[in-house]
Structure 1
Amino acid sequence: MSKQQEKRLNIINKTITLCAQYGFHGTSMDSITTATGVSKATIYKYFISKENLIKEALIMFSERALNHLNIVFSDPTLTLEQKLSERFEILVTLMKDDLFNGCYFQLAYSEFNHTDITIADICSGYKKNSSKYDSSFIN
């Protein structure tokens, strides 16, 4: 991974952490620059706007989460009980984190559903794609 890619990834990861703690609107660009050690100019160079940074962060987080679920649920060596356990172990770990204030996608959707349709669509898409795994327990 190049130094530029590492910097982008650091910005995205810190943004998700801050937004989970303070909300998306409650997370300022100043707090992101402080957390990352990257200047606002550099952040805007990579992402153009705070909303674009949030979009990329949500997309990346969604891809990671859905990829993990796909790996777990497509593993024929795991029993249904093991798959369920893996699914909920991740959620329990999140809830034990003092900085966790709810599902990132629900938080983003509630803050942006009337102001940024792209962010709302990313959140809705995550819900739709992740619910496929939840419904597999019923079928």
Structure 2
Amino acid sequence: MRASRKDELIDKALEAFYRDGFHATGMDKLVAETGISKTSMYKYFRTKEDLILATLERRHERLTALLVDGPAARADTPKGQLVASFDALQEWIAGDDFNSCMFIKASSEYQDPSHPIHQAAAAHKRSLTDHLASLARRAGAKEPETLARQLMLLKEGAIVTAHIQGKAFAAPDAKDAARTLINLACPKD
């Protein structure tokens, strides 16, 4: 089934925003990259910010599939899935299209916490943290929310480190540290 024109616009805009940033990517650049006229763009999205929010939603769906569903397919136990989430992270970082985190970029470019784009970025991070807390709870962690926050710090640090210093060691080092935290917090398998 062929993607709708709106879906094509979202996917192409996502690529441009992810690669070049939100403020640096104007509507004229999007017209050139997508082949979709400004009139058609505004037919689907009233503002550039509405388009950005749609791309963030699409990115959230894709990263959820990778970082939530991926570990579930790799490991049978919640504890194993916590560790496997770093394998999924490594898969993403090692990919040719890795260009840091679109949500970190969004929150940096839209720094006001009340801005809808900043809120969308924060909601994505909360969603991942909540998922890790749920896994930690099911794995028997005494303080699942604390473990989830610690694991998110490792993930975020790995993403930034991979972007700035290179992909080779960031996720594997984060996984080693995560395994230590997970084993301390969830002693039973």
TM surpasses 0.5 = yes
Q: What per-residue deviation string (whole Å, max 9, x for no partner) do you get for residues 34-72 of structure 1?
A: 221111110011001111100111122213433555545
Pairs aligned (count): 136
Aligned match for 1:60, one of 58, 61, 72: 58
2:61 maps to amino acid: E
Say which structure, 1 or 2, has more relative contact order (CA 8 Å, 6+ apart).
1
For the 8 Å contact 2:18–2:102, the answer to whether it is kept is yes
Q: What's the secondary structure of 2:4's corresponding residue?
A: helix
Superposed displacement of residue 93, structure 1: 3.6
In structure 2, the partner of 1:46 is: 44
For the 8 Å contact 1:47–1:53, the answer to whether it is kept is yes
Q: Is 1:123 the equivalent of 2:121?
A: yes
In structure 2, the partner of 1:14 is: 12
RMSD over aligned CA atoms reads: 2.9
TM-score computed with the length of structure 1 as normaliser: 0.77
Residues 37, 104 of structure 1: alpha-carbon distance in 2 compared, 3 angstrom cutoff: same
Superposed displacement of residue 11, structure 1: 1.0
In structure 2, the partner of 1:133 is: 131
Q: What per-residue deviation string (whole Å, max 9, x for no partner) do you get for residues 98-133 of structure 1?
A: 553311111001101228611111111111111123
d(CA) in 2 for partners of 1:92, 1:102: 12
1:81 maps to amino acid: G
d(CA) in 2 for partners of 1:121, 1:70: 21
TM-score computed with the length of structure 2 as normaliser: 0.59
Q: What's the secondary structure of 1:12's corresponding residue?
A: helix
For the 8 Å contact 2:82–2:132, the answer to whether it is kept is no
Give the gaps of 5 or more residues in structure 1.
none
Residues 73, 123 of structure 1: alpha-carbon distance in 2 compared, 3 angstrom cutoff: same
Aligned match for 2:31, one of 16, 33, 38: 33
Superposed displacement of residue 81, structure 1: 3.4
In structure 2, the partner of 1:84 is: 83
Identical positions, percent = 29
1:53 maps to amino acid: L
Residues 74, 100 of structure 1: alpha-carbon distance in 2 compared, 3 angstrom cutoff: closer
d(CA) in 1 for partners of 2:92, 2:70: 18
